[in-house]
Amino acid sequence: MINKINKYAYWLILTFLIFIICIAYNQDYSVQTVFLTFMLSLGVCTFLNIIFDAIFRFQVPYYFHYDQDIFYETQWNWDWNIKKEILHLKPTCPTCKSEVFHQFDTLLHKTEFVCETCNKQIANVNSSHRNFVLESVKNSIVRKLKKQDSSF
């Protein structure tokens, strides 16, 4: 079991610690100085609390680093969102890294990946419907991540 740390207790203790050190260093016990010192130490601790909270709350999930792989002899690049959905999935040429265009032939039921920069056909996939390759690549990405981590 993981015990949660009450960060607000530490925030309050740090505020009073900074306040006491500043008062002891300054040795001016007038009401105005004590009040301003307390407000300044409260502001500094609040600022630090907000900064640390923002840093440790938004840590990039591990799967954000997995954004390219090779499927069907074609390099695929994509982005992620927080909901673990694949965005902007696009094929690229493994040789020149330029975007590859895919064409679906309805008569032959196949998808061809062609690099116009290299002037060559990258892959030829037999597929029964137009979005077969894209869905297959998305499923392969998710399957690969689930194999590495069952919580995905």
pLDDT reported for residue 60: 67
The stretch 84-107 carries a mean pLDDT of 86
pLDDT in tens, 7-64: 677 778 888 888 888 888 888 888 898 899 889 988 888 898 888 777 776 666 778 8
Percent of the chain with pLDDT over 90: 13
Global pTM exceeds 0.85: no
What are the boundaries of each domain within the chain?
7-57, 62-148
Burial class, 100, CB count within 10 angstroms (exposed 0-12 / middle 13-18 / buried 19+)? buried
Question: Do the strands 110-115 and 101-105 form a parallel or antiparallel pair, or are they unpaired?
Answer: antiparallel
Q: Which long-range contacts (CB under 8 A, 24 or more apart) does 62-69 make?
A: 62/149, 63/145, 63/152, 66/141, 66/144, 66/145, 69/140, 69/141, 69/144
Average pLDDT, the chain: 83
Q: Is the four-CA dihedral 122, 128, 129, 134 of positive or negative sign? A: negative
- Is-contact 49 11, C-beta < 8 A? yes
